[in-house]
A and B are shown apart, each in its own frame.
Chain A
């Protein structure tokens, strides 16, 4: 019989071989770069429209972006596979310890990184520290109809399940946590565990090529678990050791992108 003394823990208790709970697989070989996921995510999560000038200056607020590169020198130029990039929900997220007010914390139950909009004071240290540069900042009152009257009718398309962020607050992809919550509530009210395919984030839902797969990666039978084990799988910036939860699939010779 041992008593739990609840002594302070001074050492690192992260278990690095833990698979985590929610994960995503993105198949770059079938991604067509159509940006349907970008549009769907913006609609689902009330991502604001920043306008032409600000977007050109690098203030686009999309939570997911399709990165396009080319390789080689002219005339032998080749497109590389499209690269959808969103918050990788790292297990050891570098954006978390640098926030002075605990606005970017790790959810122990969901094992993703959560951004607390109410608490954010706007120091933007998390944005600097994200190696994937997936965090967006509300530079102006992009959603306030008092400041931008043209938004008055667009207010009707806002998703009531998701907070509308005001100026001065950091935001990023949440793995559509509102959909995760819905599915978990539905499953528990039916008295069952959440099944594979219950939770479909907006980007996965919209993708015409089914390039994005989402689900429980701690469940070995889920589609996302099985896909992430493919030999084509890799993690972005793996050398940093921050344990992202998104696996990218990219083969040596890929069809379709020239």
Chain B
């Protein structure tokens, strides 16, 4: 049974990278066996890749709900626990409720969006990973798995399409 190997192809520009991905697909590498690592965000349609799915917005929405609840708890809950009349104002004031709830909702939304990024991307992660430093200098890397007996033809095909290098991916400390 052929074992699968992970290769990293480095491209200098968008067009060769997109052509390379198309070529890989035609050689039998499926979309979920590929990953593109780049120095700027490349939306899926530019490189011919399916759109990535993110859970950040869902997590952020949960955070907004929690924030709203905590805002209501903060103003009305604390008054319930410690009722004190001040200035002839009602004990449970409505306008202040809006202000406090709004602030806490936005806080919850944004904090959970931030944490959602951490959770969804697995940050912080300091284990060795497949990466080359040239990526942050603008190169586009296509990380893909293919069968080991396909290595030669794949390397040839990608090099012909303009890849700077196609090497086995080394997991190294970033």
Interface stretch (choices A70-78, A88-96, A179-187):
A88-96
Chain A residues within 8 Å of chain B by Cβ, number: 23
Known contacts A8-B76, A8-B80; A14 and B88 CB within 8 A of each other: yes
Residues of A within 8 A of B92 (CB): 8-10
Q: Chain B, interface size: which category?
A: 10 to 19
B135, chain A: closest CB distance, angstroms:
51
A11, chain B: closest CB distance, angstroms:
5
Residues of B within 8 A of A8 (CB): 76, 79-80, 91-92
Residues of A within 8 A of B76 (CB): 8
From B80, B84, B88, A92 is in contact (CB under 8 Å) with B88
Q: Which of A50-107 contact B (CB under 8 A)?
A: 91-99, 102, 104-106
Please classify the interface of chain B as helix (H, G, I), strand (E, B), loop, or mixed, using the class held by over half of its residues: loop
Residues of B within 8 A of A106 (CB): 84-88
The answer to whether A104 touches B88, judged by C-beta atoms less than 8 angstroms apart, is no
Chain B 79-101, CB within 8 Å of chain A: the 1/0 string? 11010111111111110000000
A-B Cβ contacts below 8 A, count: 49
Q: Measured between alpha carbons, how far is A104 from B84 in the docked complex, in Å?
A: 10
Question: Closest chain A residue to B79 by CB distance?
Answer: A8
Does A108 reach chain B (CB closer than 8 Å)? yes
The answer to whether A12 touches B85, judged by C-beta atoms less than 8 angstroms apart, is no
The answer to whether B94 touches A96, judged by C-beta atoms less than 8 angstroms apart, is no
Question: Closest chain B residue to A242 by CB distance?
Answer: B88
Question: Closest chain B residue to A91 by CB distance?
Answer: B88
The answer to whether B90 touches A11, judged by C-beta atoms less than 8 angstroms apart, is yes
Residues of B within 8 A of A9 (CB): 90-92
Question: Closest chain B residue to A99 by CB distance?
Answer: B86
21 CB-based A-B contacts, threshold 8 Å = A8-B76, A8-B91, A8-B92, A9-B90, A10-B92, A12-B88, A12-B89, A91-B88, A92-B87, A92-B88, A93-B88, A94-B87, A95-B87, A97-B87, A97-B89, A106-B84, A106-B86, A106-B87, A106-B88, A108-B85, A243-B88
Residues on B lying within 8 angstroms of A by beta carbon are 76, 79-80, 82, 84-94
The 4 lowest CB-CB distance pairs between A and B, nearest first, are A92-B88, A97-B87, A96-B86, A96-B87
